[in-house]
Homo-oligomer: A and B are copies of this chain.
Amino acid sequence: MRVDIGNALDAVATPGITTDALDRLDAEVAEAHDTIAAGMSNAAFGYASLNLPETTSATGIQRAVADVDADAVLTVGIGGSALGAKTVSAALGESEHYLLDNVDPEHAARLLDGLNLDRTAVNVVSRSGTTAETLANFLVVRDAYESAGVDWTERTVVTTGDAGPLADLASEEGLPRLAVPEGVPGRFAALSAVGLVPAAILGHDIEAVLAGARSARESLSGSLHDCPAYAYGAVAAALERRGAHTNAFMPYAEALEPFAEWFAQLWAESLGKDGQGQTPARALGATDQHSQLQLYRAGRHDKLVTLVRPRKRADRSIPQTDVEGLAYLGDSTLADLLDAEFEATEASLAAAGQPNVRVEVDRVDERGIGDLLFSFEAACVLAGELMGVETFTQPAVEWGKSAARGLLGGTDTEESETVREKREVIIQ
C-alpha cells in the first residue's frame, strides 16, 4: 500500500496538520508502535489480530473444505462474521458468493428461490454460535434445502468457537468445522477462516491473500514516514482531533465497494467510543462525484475524504465516435477516464481546502486485498492507541441485543421495558 498525505497538511487543507504537528505525531506513533508490537508478541487480546497473516493456515482451510463440491457459496453470518468474506470475494471478482447477513424475510425468500441449492455450499459463521440473526437464517436455510430435497449436511461448513450450538451441531452432523481465531474480535478476523472460507471453496488462491497481508505486516515500524498503514491511521486520528469528525471513504473500483463497508464497520465499532470517533460515510468513485462531491467541497470542513484506487486494472478502450464534443473520449480507455476523475476529485477537494488522503495498491487482486485489509486494521489499531480508546471492545451494542431478546423472548428485560415506554409524536 502507498499513502499520499500531502493534501492533509495545513499548507493545503483546513483542518490540516502542520510540519511541527507531524513531528509530534511521529513521536506518538513510535510510542504506540511499542505498545502494539508488545501486544503482538504476547498475542494479547485484540493485538493478536495483527498476527493472523502468520498464524492463519491457508492449507488448513483448504483441507477443511476440500470435500465441499460447489459452484456457489451462501454465507450465513452478520457483521464481522460476513463482511470480511464479502470483501475478499468481491475483490477477487467472484460473483457466486451470496450472503444472508440480514433477517429480511423478503430478501431471504428471493435469494433462496434464485439459488441452485444442489450446487451451493453453506458457510455459517458465528463466534458464539448463538447470534440470533445468524441462527434464525440458518434454520431457514436448512429448511429450504430440506424442502428442495438437497442434503445440507454434505455442503455445509461451520466456523465458530470451541463450544456452543454451532460447534455441537458440527460434531453431531460431522460437518467440517473451522475455529474462529483466539483473541481476535470479529471485525478483525477477515484474514482467518472467518473471511477466507468462501474464496477457498470457490478455488481462489487464499495463500496469496495472506502473502499480501504479510507484506503489509512487515512494513510496521516506529515511524509514520516508513509505514503507510500507520501514516494513514496517524493522519486520520490527528485530523479527527482537529474537527474531521467524518471519514468519507471512497474507493474508485466497484470491486472494493464491500471493502468500504468493511472499513465502515472496523472504524465505527473500534473507534466510536467515549464521545469520539469518525463517522464513516461510504462512497464510490466515480459514481458519487455526481452525488456527494457538492457537499464534500462546499459543506463544513469536518470531513477527511479517503480516496482509494488500484494503480493497474484490466482495461477497456472507449470506441471511437464522430459525435461532436465527444471525440476526446475515443483516444482513451475507461481506466483513463476513471483515473482522470479520481485526480480531478482529489484536486477539487484540495482547491476547496478540504483534507483528503490518497491510498493506492498495485491491483485489486489476492495480494492487493490482503494488503488493504491488514493495512487498515493496523491503521485502526494505531488510531485507537492515539485516541486512547478500547479499540477491541464494543460495549454499546449490548443494550440493544438485550432489548431485542426481551421483546422476542416473552420475558421482559430492563431494556425491553424501555422500548415499550417509547415517547411518540406521530405525524401521518
Contacts and interface: CB of A to CB of B under 8 A. Distances in A.
Interface of A: 1-7, 9, 11-12, 78-80, 82-83, 93, 95, 101-110, 114, 130, 132-133, 135-137, 139-140, 142-143, 165, 168-169, 187, 224-228, 231, 245-246, 248, 252-255, 264-265, 268-269, 271-277, 279-282, 284-303, 313-316, 318-319, 321, 323-326, 328-330, 332-338, 340-341, 343-348, 350-352, 364, 394-397, 399-401, 403-405, 407-410, 415-416, 418-419, 422-428
A416 B6 contact: no
Nearest to A223: B427
B228 A428 contact: yes
Nearest to A293: B397
Given A9-B425, A187-B291, A248-B279, 14 more contacts: A103-B286, A103-B337, A103-B338, A105-B335, A105-B338, A106-B313, A137-B334, A227-B427, A268-B294, A268-B296, A293-B396, A298-B396, A337-B408, A352-B399
Contact of A400 (B143, B329, B344): B344
Instruction: Rank and list the top 9 A-B pairs by shortest CB-CB distance, nearest first.
Output: A272-B295, A79-B290, A344-B403, A265-B291, A107-B254, A268-B295, A105-B334, A297-B396, A344-B404
Contact of A93 (B106, B338, B407): B106
B224 A427 contact: yes
Given A6-B422, A265-B291, A290-B397, A403 B343 contact: yes
What number of copies of this chain does the assembly contain? 2
Which of A79, A143, A397 is most buried by chain B, counting CB atoms within 10 A of its CB? A397
Contact of A255 (B107, B226, B351): B107
A133 B337 contact: yes
Nearest to A364: B106
Contacts of A427: 2-5, 224-228, 231
Given A6-B424, A255-B107, A418 B351 contact: yes
Contacts of A105: 313-316, 333-335, 338
A76 to B, nearest CB: 13
A240 B349 CA distance: 23
Nearest to A231: B427
A108 B338 CA distance: 12
Given A279-B246, A286-B102, A294 B273 contact: yes
B314 A294 contact: no
A107 B133 CA distance: 31
Given A3-B427, A268-B294, A400-B289, A419 B347 contact: yes
